[in-house]
């Protein structure tokens, strides 16, 4: 059985459309059956209520009033205030002209309820319903005491039931409106939570892709560079110094083995979501081996360290190794340098890494630009991203001619609580 799951964007679109609908649209426009039901109840209830109270039923009074009130509910679904005003006008006309004998408020009950349940922005329905109801009752009292010949006390007493009915009706409509408003707010919270989950998922995916891109770039780029360098050494030494050639080939094989291990770890993570990747063997303590593999007859690499590199926390240790790795890779591939100096200093609360070569800085700069080698450009960005993720500072660029020239990479990584 195949289950179709809507895309995150589709879920957000559906939730957003639900929130955008106004409450009165849900009550009437979005559900025409509700409008027809209210109209039908009004058409039946007005004559039935009149007959129940002993009033006069005829085709010139109660029946056309009921039909007119029902027609207004159908025709004015989007304008409840106008519907109530026209309904009250009809009731007043029919009552004051003697066409009907009973009811000032209750014939327009449905119009009152619809307006009281409307709380669209800038069009509050409940205050209008309360105000119009009070005005209608006041007019009814005045009419009964003057034209009807009824005393004020008797008129107020006779209209008390309708006033109570109006209060109960408006209270029920307000409760229904508050319930719809609560549902709307709940849907908004659900929508915001869904959007936040989608945003967090997107950020996690982007961060994971970026981390994997950095690892792939560093592992593959460095491996190809070192293997190529050692193969070149082996080729040049094969005739004169077989031992050197054999050592170079062994180094290339070792680098290849480490790279395969790291790549398999990344592939396992991609194939099995949620799996924790195997920690790479690379770390600050392996910087010496890294420098040794990069050193050749054409490139003299010197290393200076201060502090206990093996005691660095894993994230900072890996970042130190990757910065040195990528900086030396760029030196070998782009700078044409004959000498490079690597320095790793662990002081209280931070570790500082510098890699300086005497190569052609303009060549490295061109390779790192957007128009140059994509791998080198990604490598420098990757170093900066690694250091920034740990709250550190990173800089890479040419040294001035007065400082001896060359290319300098410097990273300072904070390690809170670390003591060298």
- For residue 385, is it within any domain? yes
Per-residue pLDDT tens digits for 276-301: 554 555 788 888 888 887 787 678 88
**Plot region of 274 (φ>0 → left; ψ -120 to 50 → alpha; else → beta):** left
Between CA 144 and CA 365 the distance in angstroms is 96
Q: Indicate if the alpha-carbon torsion angle 368, 373, 379, 382 is positive or negative.
A: positive
Between CA 212 and CA 259 the distance in angstroms is 14
Question: Are 351 and 345 in contact, with CB atoms under 8 Å apart?
Answer: yes
- For residue 82, is it within any domain? yes
Instruction: Please tell me whether the overall predicted TM-score, pTM, comes out greater than 0.85 for this model.
Output: no
Note the pLDDT of residue 394: 93
Residue at which a domain ends, from 198, 226, 254: 198
Note the pLDDT of residue 4: 45
Instruction: Please determine, for residue 68, whether its predicted confidence score (pLDDT) is greater than 70.
Output: yes
Question: Are 408 and 396 in contact, with CB atoms under 8 Å apart?
Answer: yes
Between CA 313 and CA 305 the distance in angstroms is 17
Segment (H or E) for 347: strand 339-347
Task: End-to-end CA distance of the chain: give it in Å, rounded.
Answer: 61
Between CA 269 and CA 262 the distance in angstroms is 11
Q: Are residues 304 and 167 in the same domain?
A: no
| 5 C-beta neighbours (distance < 10 Å), count | 7
Q: Are residues 32 and 154 in the same domain?
A: yes
- For residue 269, is it within any domain? no
DSSP helix/strand/coil, 150: coil
| 361 C-beta neighbours (distance < 10 Å), count | 21
- For residue 16, is it within any domain? yes
Residue at which a domain ends, from 198, 227, 250: 198
- For residue 71, is it within any domain? yes
Residue at which a domain ends, from 198, 220, 245: 198
β-partners of residue 302 are: 341
Note the pLDDT of residue 336: 74
- Average pLDDT score over the chain: 75
Per-residue pLDDT tens digits for 309-333: 888 888 888 889 889 888 888 888 7
Total structural domains within the chain:
2
CA distances from 394 to 49, 207, 319, 389 (A): 84, 19, 11, 11
Per-residue pLDDT tens digits for 37-52: 888 888 888 888 777 7
- For residue 249, is it within any domain? no
- For residue 103, is it within any domain? yes
Between CA 233 and CA 210 the distance in angstroms is 34
Note the pLDDT of residue 272: 65
Q: Are residues 186 and 74 in the same domain?
A: yes
Among all chains, which residue has been given the structure tokens 């006309």? 93
Domain boundaries, position 373: 284-420
CB contact set of 45 (below 8 Å; sequence gap of 6+): 66, 109
CATH of the domain at 347: 3.30.565.10
- For residue 224, is it within any domain? no
Estimate the share of the chain in helix, then strand, then coil, as percent rounded to the nearest 5: 70, 10, 20
Per-residue pLDDT tens digits for 179-204: 878 888 888 899 888 888 888 888 87
């Amino acid at each position: 059985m195949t289950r179709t799951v809507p895309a995150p964007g589709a879920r957000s679109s559906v939730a957003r459309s639900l929130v955008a609908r106004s409450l009165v649209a849900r009550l009437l426009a979005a559900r025409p059956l509700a409008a027809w039901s209210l109209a039908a109840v009004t058409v039946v209830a007005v004559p039935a209520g009149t007959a129940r109270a002993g009033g006069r039923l005829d085709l010139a009074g109660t029946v056309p009033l009921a039909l007119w009130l029902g027609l207004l509910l159908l025709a004015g679904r989007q304008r409840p205030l106008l519907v109530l005003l026209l309904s009250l006008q009809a009731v007043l006309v029919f009552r004051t002209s003697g066409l009907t004998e009973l009811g000032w408020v209750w014939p327009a009950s449905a119009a009152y309820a619809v307006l009281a349940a409307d709380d669209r922005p800038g069009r509050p329905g409940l205050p209008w319903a309360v105000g119009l109801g009070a005005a209608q009752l006041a007019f009814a009292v005045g009419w009964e005491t003057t034209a009807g010949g009824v005393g004020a006390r008797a008129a107020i007493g006779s209209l008390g039931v309708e006033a109570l009915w109006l209060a109960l009706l408006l209270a029920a409509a307000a409760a229904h409106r508050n319930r719809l408003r609560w549902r709307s707010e709940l849907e908004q919270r659900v929508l915001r939570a869904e959007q936040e989950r989608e945003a967090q998922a997107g950020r996690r995916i982007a961060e994971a892709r970026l981390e994997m891109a950095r690892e792939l770039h560093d592992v593959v780029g460095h491996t190809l560079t070192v293997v190529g360098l050692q193969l070149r050494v082996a080729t040049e030494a094969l005739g004169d110094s077989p031992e050197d050639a054999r050592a170079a080939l062994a180094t290339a094989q070792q680098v290849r083995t480490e790279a395969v291990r790291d790549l398999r770890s990344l592939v396992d993570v991609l194939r099995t979501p949620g799996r924790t990747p195997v920690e790479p063997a690379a770390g600050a303590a392996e910087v010496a081996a890294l420098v040794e593999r990069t050193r050749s007859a054409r490139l003299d690499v010197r290393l200076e360290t201060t502090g206990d590199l093996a005691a660095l926390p894993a994230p900072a240790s890996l970042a130190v190794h990757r910065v040195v790795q990528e900086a030396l890779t760029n030196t070998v591939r782009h700078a044409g340098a004959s000498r490079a100096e690597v320095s790793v200093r662990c002081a209280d609360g931070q570790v500082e890494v510098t890699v300086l070569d005497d190569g052609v800085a303009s060549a490295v700069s061109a390779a790192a630009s957007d128009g140059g080698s994509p791998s080198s450009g990604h490598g420098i960005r990757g170093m900066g991203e690694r250091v920034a993720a740990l709250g550190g500072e990173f800089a890479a660029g040419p040294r001035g001619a007065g400082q001896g020239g060359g290319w300098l990479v410097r990273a300072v990584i904070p390690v809170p609580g670390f003591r060298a």
